[in-house]
Structure 1
Amino acid sequence: MRISTGQMFQQSTNSILEKQSATNSIMGQISSGKRVETAGDDPVAAIAIDNLKQKNTLVEQYEKNIDYATNRLGLTESKIGSTETLIASMREQLLRGANGSLSSNERQMIADEMKQSLEELLSIANSQDESGNYLFAGTKTNNQPFAFDASGEIVYSGDSGIRKSVVASGIAMTTNIPGDTAFMNAANPLGDYGVNYLSSQQGEFNLTSAKITDETSHTADTYTFDFIDNGAGIDLQVVDSAGTVATTVTNFDATNSVSFNGIEVTLSGNPVAGDSFTIEPLETVSIFDAFNQAITFLESPDATTTAQGKSQLAQLLNDIDSGQNQVSTARSIAGNNLKGLESISSNHSEEKIINSSALSMLEDLDFAEAITEFEKQQLALNAISSVFSSVGSLSLFDYI
């Protein structure tokens, strides 16, 4: 078969270009350290590599979200921890001020200390993060959540909104504790009603429980408890706000509960004839209200020596303890979420290691094999170039 000079040159040129391309490709792989640089190098591996890289990108975004959530929750947990310490200190101040041997001036000094502590507590509740967002405002992060109103009560202007951050597939972790959850809505230690002790009180007693036991027969109202001398003991008469008698208990015994209108009330101590107190619906108590009332209590003349004052002190301590339990629960929520984030972050780290290992197997270059292949291609290229050079220089005239 005849091969024209043009065909010979074309075939030789194609061979040289093919070997040069193969050599350059291997040089590129050696330079980058990657076996698969384009889909053409290995289409099947390229698809798997792309999927793994997408997974790692998603995991990295999850890790950023975890970092954000961890920072917010860590700061929140720290502030709530400071709140717990401050509440314990203020409770001690109240007990110190309730010492009956103190003068009114000494009690006022302690009340002034408590006012400063209350201001500090308010400052903690209005804490902001590095971006100026209020930690305990719910979703209203641009508005200061706590402030004194015109009557001197601390009110909450945030909401109960929960902010979440997606930290894994199908998992959104809470990143905040609303202010009402942390400070405002502690469980009423008495149950469903609050108590108001009257200045006419002579007997030493206090209310220990006032709970709704039957919703169907319950009528929410303000009820007055009057203890009446019956000659041989005392009777208890309970009347509603309209003056209608709700129940009468003859020969009242404080060891027995009093039930009426779907409510069960329990007392501790020994009321005497002429004593009275009232109860009214109250679902929750606020740690701020408790300390405001404690300050007013310490500023009242002879508050710690009267029967009414002793009953009020017992109730204040119960309210403070309930508020402190609420704050501790909020701190536990933040701590549990932080622990959950740590676990999820660890899982992401392991996933990235597995993905990176799989990526390495698919796309990383075996340098020994690549260098051997490079040398083979280089040798073949040199051989083709040498043959082409020799054949290209031949001429028929050299043999004539």
Structure 2
Amino acid sequence: MRVSTAQFHQQNIGNILNRQSNTSKLLEQIATGKRVNTAGDDPVASVAIDNLKQQNKLSDQYLKNIDYAKNHLSQTESQLGDAEDIARTLKDQMLSVLNGRHSDADRQTIAKKMRSDLEALQQVANSRDESGNYFFSGFKTDQKPFEFSGSSPRSISYNGDDGVRNSVVADGVALGTNISGSHAFMDAKNALGDYSAKYSSNQSGKFQISEAKIANSSTHVTANYSINFVDDGKGGVNVEVKNGSNTTLAATPFDPKKPISFNGIEIKLDGTPKAGDSVEISPQSNTNIFDTVEKTIALLEKGDVQSEAGKAELAQQLNNLNQGINQIGLARSEAGVSLQNSDSYLARHQDTKLVNTEALAKLEDLDTAKAITDLNREQLALRAASSTYTKVSNTSLFDFI
């Protein structure tokens, strides 16, 4: 077959260009250490590589979110641990007053110590993170959550909300990174049940309410009530229950073995009241640890803890303090569970990244030794093709005539 001069030049130039392209490609692969630098290098592998890199980017974002969540949850759990320790110290002080024999000076000293510890508890509840945001304010991170107002006994107000700041830690999974102050410090259950008690200062009988709960919601009437113990004229005691309008709702002989029942409410007593004693009850399903301690301090400062009413009131506040400690412990355990969950997702994403990285290495990493051998071969072939083309293209028939 005859090969024209144009064909000869075209074939040889094409061969040289292919060798140059192969050499350039190998040089790029050696420089980057990657077998696949463009989709043209290996279209199928390129698609798989892009998918794996996207998965790794998503995992990196999840890992950042988890790091943020772990940091805040760790600090929250630590702050709640400090709050729990302070609350237990306050409990020990209350038990000392309730069970020990102290002078008035001793009780005033204990009151001062309790007030100092209460301020420490408030400081913990108002603590901030490294960015200056309040831990326990919910979504209102720039709002100081807890403030006292009024005179002794002061009352606490919560200025945050119940918002939970979530961090996305996996596909369709959001992890709460905070505990609201209302949940940790304000939502303790009333130890008595659904009503709180206020004892009369002239109480002479040794008794206290152990339970005040709604027994029948269909007949229950929410209101303030007074429970009065009156002489029955036979050496016993009758119970009279009156509402806020001073209307008598019940008048029955007192039986220490049976609860006092009226308007769907049941009241249980420990001890024996005497004629002339009375106690008022008010609706209250939840208590908060700040008000509980503040009321106790007020009792100590006024010197009322030695009276029968003071002892009953102190016992009630001690039970409410236990509820407050339990509530802080519950919130702390929730933070701990979230921390465990974040660790689980952290390990999962780290494993995913490890598997993806190994797969990427198999798809795109270069066998350097083989690439250098191929480069030497291509360079040798390129030099041979170039030399041959140069010599042949310069040959003329006239040289042989």
Q: Which TM-score applies when normalising by structure 2? A: 0.95
Q: Match for 2:347: what amino acid?
A: S
**Using a 3 Å threshold, how does the CA distance of structure 1 residues 255 and 90 change in structure 2: closer, same or farther?**
same
Corresponding residue of 1:237: 240
1:218 aligns to what SS in structure 2? coil
Counterpart position of 1:275: 277
How much is the aligned-residue C-alpha RMSD, in angstroms? 1.5
Aligned residue type for 1:277: V
- What's the offset of the Cα at 1:247? 1.9
Shift of 1:340: 0.4
Offset from partner CA, 1:216-267 (integer Å, 9 cap, x none):
11101111111122214222121111122222222x2222222221111111
Indicate conservation of the 8 Å contact 2:98/2:315, yes or no.
Answer: no
SS at match of 2:21: helix
CA contact (8 A) 1:234 1:272 kept: yes
The reply to whether residue 74 of structure 1 matches residue 77 of structure 2 is no
1:250-288 C-alpha deviation (Å, 9 max, x unpaired): 2x2222222221111111111122211011100110100
1:66 is aligned with what amino acid? I
> Counterpart of 1:248?
251
Q: TM-score, normalized by length of structure 1?
A: 0.96
Query: Helix, strand or coil for the counterpart of 1:228?
Result: strand
Alignment match, 2:32: 32
Shift of 1:364: 1.3
State how far apart, in whole Å, the 1-side matches of 2:213 and 2:305 are.
Answer: 28
Cα contact 1:189–1:318 (8 A) shared by 2: yes
Where do 5+ consecutive residues of structure 1 fail to align?
none
Distance 1:39 1:280 in 2: 76
Change (3 A) 1:266 1:98: closer
User: 2:150 aligns to what SS in structure 1?
Assistant: coil
**4+ residue segments displaced more than 6 Å:** none
8 Å CA contact 1:209–1:265 kept in 2: the answer is: yes
Q: What per-residue deviation string (whole Å, max 9, x for no partner) do you get for residues 76-128 of structure 1? A: 11010000000111111223344663222221111111111111111111100
**Equivalence for 2:170:** 168
After superposition, the Cα gap between the structure-2 partners of 1:51 and 1:274, relative to the gap in structure 1 and judged at 3 Å, is same
**Aligned partners of 1:387, 1:101: CA distance in 2, in Å?**
115
Counterpart-to-counterpart distance in 1, 2:231 and 2:5: 136
Instruction: Render the CA deviation track for 1:157-186: whole Å, top value 9, x for unaligned.
Output: 111111101111000000111111111121
Matches within 5 A, 1:1-400: 1-98=1-98, 101-151=101-151, 152-230=154-232, 231-250=234-253, 252-301=254-303, 303-400=304-401
Q: What SS class does the counterpart of residue 17 from structure 2 fall into?
A: helix
CA distance in 2, matches of 1:100, 1:354: 65
Q: Contact (CA 8 Å) 1:99, 1:304: kept in 2 or not?
A: no
CA distance in structure 2 between the aligned counterparts of 1:314 and 1:189, rounded to whole angstroms: 10
| CA distance in structure 2 between the aligned counterparts of 1:254 and 1:35, rounded to whole angstroms | 89
Looking at structure 2, the residues matched to 304 and 289 of structure 1 have their Cα atoms a distance apart, in angstroms, of: 17
Per-residue deviation, residues 195-236 of structure 1 (Å, max 9, x unmatched): 111111111111111111221111011111111222142221
Calculate percent identity across the aligned residue pairs: 47
Which has the higher mean CA deviation after the structures are superposed, 262-271 or 376-385? 376-385
- Counterpart contact for 2:34–2:364, Cα < 8 Å: yes
